[in-house]
C-alpha cells in the first residue's frame, strides 16, 4: 500500500453515527489517499477501528482549540481536509480547522447551531429582517429556577415549551399547557439547568419540516411528531408532502437560518414549523451537521446522491457536483415503540426475521401493495441493553427500534403507510416476544401458523434491499 497523502481530520461525532464515520473514513482513504485522524473525548476500541489515529480530547473543553492546536499544530502540513460532525464540536471544531488552515464554515457564528439560546438571541438581533421574510421570532427567556419558570408561565398563560439549551434528541423537552404544574415541569428539566434551560412561547404552527442538505444542495423532509407533553419525532418522510407555496416558505426560512449560523459549504439540518396556509414559518432548532434518523440515507434512496461522500468531497474543495434529481420513490424512517410501559431488551425477541419485516408485510397487505412495493432498507435496535420504555415516548431514545422503508407504489401516501406500520409494529413486537396472541393482521409466521399458503408473505423479493452505494449497511 502506498503512503497516505496527508490526513483527513474528523472532529467528534455522536455514537449513533458510527456507520457514517466508517463510510466517510473509507471514502477519504480510497478517493483521496489520506490517512484519517479522529479527535473525540474518551475514544473506544470502536473509534480506533474507524480511523488511523485517535486523539482523546473533549470538544466541550473551554480551551479545546488551544489544546488541539498544540497537539496537531506542529504537523499541520499533514492535514489536508477536515469536518466537524457533532453539535458539541460545531464551534470549537470549526475554530480548530480554521487554525490548521483547513476549509470550514464560520467559527464565529457557529454557536447559534449548538446552543438554542444563542440562536434565539441571533434571531432577536435580526427580528425586522426575519419578520419581513414571514419568519416568526418567538419570545424566549433563560430560566434557572422554578420561580423563573413560573414568571414565564404568567406571561404566557396559553402555554409554552421548556427545554435544555444544548441537548438534542428531544431530551428534556416539555410542553407546559394552561394549568399544568410548573414545579413538575421544572423537575423534568432540572438535570439540564447547569448547562442552560430556556422557555419559549409556543409556536402557533402545527406542521413541521426540516430544511436539509449540504452546501448549495437542499431538500425538505417532513417530520411526524407526537402531540402532547413530549413532542418527540415519530417519523421522517422524504420527499415532504408539500405544495409549491409551502415548500418555498420552508426553503426561504432555511436559507435565512444558514445566514444566521454561518453555514456556507457544510451540512445543515434546520427544523422549521409551517403555518396551515403555507405562508409563514418559525424555526424550532438549527443544526450545522447532517440530520439524524438517517435522513441522508433517505436522500440517497430518493435522489440517488450520497451526501456523506459529497461532504468529504466538499472538505477537499470539490464542491461541484450534479444537482438533485427528481424523486425516484418515497422513503421514511420510523421510530418503533412499545404498546405498554415495560422493560425491554432485543434478546426478548424470538429468532428469525426482524419484527419490522413482519410488520411491513402486514402493512403492505393492509394497503394492497404488490410484492416489492414496500421494502425494509434498514433496521436497528436503539440499544442492546434492557431498558424501561414508555408507551408514550418521552424522548428520542424512548423507543425499542428504528426502521427505514422505501415505497415505490404510485399514488400511495407514505404518511398513511407510516401510520399503519407504527400501529401494526406494536402488536407484532408483542407477538415476537410471546407477550400476547397476535391479531389477524400480523402475518401467520408470527402467529405460528406455518403453511404453504402463508409462507409466501415474506418471500425474498418482498424483503429485497434497495441497492446502496458502496454496499455499506445503510
What pLDDT is stored for residue 468 in this prediction? 38
pLDDT tens, position by position, 108-128: 999 999 889 999 999 999 999
Q: Is the pLDDT of residue 442 over 60?
A: no
Distance CA 194, CA 186 (A): 13
Q: What is the 8-class DSSP label of residue 193?
A: G
Averaged pLDDT score across all residues of the chain = 89
Q: Is the pLDDT of residue 454 over 70?
A: no
Residue that is written with C-alpha cell 449513533 in the block = 16
What pLDDT is stored for residue 449 in this prediction? 41
What pLDDT is stored for residue 434 in this prediction? 78
Alpha carbons within 13 A on the beta-carbon side of 340: 5
Q: Is the pLDDT of residue 63 over 90?
A: yes
Between the alpha carbon of residue 302 and those of residues 70, 202, 324, 412, 471, the distances in Å are: 44, 33, 10, 15, 17
What pLDDT is stored for residue 168 in this prediction? 67
pLDDT bin (cut points 50, 70, 90) of residue 221 is: very high
Q: Is the pLDDT of residue 440 over 70?
A: no
Read off the pLDDT of each residue in 292-304 and give the average, rounded to a whole number. Answer: 96
318-327 exposure pattern, b = at least 16 Cβ within 10 A, e = fewer: ebeeeebeee
What pLDDT is stored for residue 320 in this prediction? 76
Residue that is written with C-alpha cell 447559534 in the block = 112
Q: Is the pLDDT of residue 183 over 90?
A: no
Partners of 268 in beta bridges: 213
pLDDT bin (cut points 50, 70, 90) of residue 436 is: low
pLDDT tens, position by position, 403-422: 999 999 999 999 999 999 99
Read off the pLDDT of each residue in 91-119 and give the average, rounded to a whole number. Answer: 95
Between the alpha carbon of residue 31 and those of residues 44, 346, 403, the distances in Å are: 26, 37, 30
Range from 42-51, 280-289, 394-403, 441-450 carrying the lowest mean pLDDT? 441-450
Q: Is the pLDDT of residue 104 over 90?
A: yes
Amino acid at each position: 500500500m502506498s503512503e497516505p497523502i496527508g490526513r483527513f481530520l474528523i472532529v467528534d461525532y455522536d455514537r449513533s453515527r458510527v456507520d457514517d464515520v466508517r463510510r466517510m473514513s473509507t471514502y477519504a482513504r480510497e478517493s483521496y489517499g489520506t490517512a484519517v485522524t479522529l479527535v473525540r473525548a474518551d475514544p473506544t476500541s470502536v473509534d480506533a477501528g474507524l480511523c488511523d489515529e485517535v486523539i482523546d480530547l473533549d470538544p466541550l473543553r473551554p480551551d479545546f482549540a488551544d489544546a488541539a492546536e498544540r497537539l496537531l499544530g506542529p504537523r499541520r502540513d499533514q492535514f489536508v481536509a477536515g469536518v466537524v460532525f457533532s453539535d458539541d464540536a460545531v464551534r470549537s471544531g470549526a475554530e480548530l480547522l480554521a487554525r490548521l488552515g483547513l476549509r470550514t464554515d464560520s467559527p464565529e457564528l457557529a454557536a447559534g447551531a449548538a446552543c438554542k439560546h444563542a440562536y434565539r438571541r441571533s434571531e432577536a438581533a435580526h427580528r425586522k429582517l426575519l419578520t419581513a421574510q414571514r419568519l416568526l421570532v418567538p419570545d424566549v427567556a433563560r430560566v434557572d429556577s422554578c420561580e423563573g419558570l413560573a414568571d414565564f408561565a404568567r406571561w404566557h398563560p396559553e402555554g409554552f415549551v421548556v427545554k435544555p439549551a444544548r441537548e438534542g434528541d428531544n431530551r428534556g423537552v416539555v410542553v407546559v399547557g394552561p394549568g399544568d404544574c410548573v414545579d413538575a415541569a421544572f423537575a423534568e428539566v432540572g438535570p439540564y439547568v447547569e448547562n442552560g434551560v430556556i422557555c419559549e412561547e409556543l409556536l402557533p404552527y402545527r406542521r413541521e419540516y426540516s430544511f436539509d442538505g449540504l452546501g448549495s444542495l437542499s431538500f425538505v423532509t417532513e417530520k411526524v411528531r407526537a402531540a402532547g407533553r413530549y413532542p418527540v419525532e415519530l417519523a421522517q418522510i422524504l420527499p415532504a408532502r408539500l405544495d409549491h407555496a409551502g415548500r418555498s416558505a420552508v426553503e426561504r426560512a432555511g436559507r435565512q437560518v444558514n445566514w444566521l449560523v454561518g453555514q456556507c459549504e457544510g451540512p445543515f439540518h434546520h427544523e422549521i414549523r409551517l403555518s396551515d396556509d403555507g405562508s409563514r414559518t418559525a424555526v424550532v432548532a438549527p443544526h450545522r451537521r447532517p440530520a439524524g434518523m438517517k435522513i441522508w440515507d433517505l436522500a440517497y434512496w430518493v435522489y440517488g446522491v450520497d451526501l456523506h461522500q459529497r461532504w468529504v468531497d466538499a472538505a477537499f474543495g470539490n464542491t461541484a457536483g450534479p444537482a438533485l434529481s427528481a424523486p425516484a420513490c418515497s422513503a421514511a424512517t420510523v421510530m418503533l415503540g412499545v404498546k405498554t410501559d415495560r422493560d425491554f431488551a432485543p434478546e426478548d425477541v424470538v429468532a428469525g426475521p426482524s419484527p419490522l419485516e413482519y410488520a411491513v408485510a402486514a402493512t403492505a397487505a393492509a394497503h394492497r401493495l404488490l410484492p416489492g412495493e414496500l421494502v425494509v432498507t434498514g433496521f436497528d435496535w436503539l440499544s442492546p441493553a434492557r431498558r424501561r420504555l414508555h408507551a408514550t415516548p418521552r424522548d428520542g431514545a424512548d423507543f425499542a427500534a428504528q426502521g427505514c422503508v422505501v415505497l415505490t407504489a404510485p399514488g400511495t401516501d407514505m404518511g398513511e403507510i407510516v401510520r399503519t406500520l407504527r400501529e401494526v409494529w406494536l402488536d407484532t413486537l408483542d407477538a415476537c416476544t410471546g407477550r400476547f396472541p397476535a391479531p389477524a393482521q400480523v402475518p401467520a409466521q408470527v402467529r405460528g401458523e406455518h403453511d404453504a399458503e402463508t409462507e409466501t408473505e415474506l418471500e425474498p423479493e418482498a424483503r429485497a434491499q434497495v441497492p446502496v452505494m458502496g454496499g455499506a449497511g445503510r
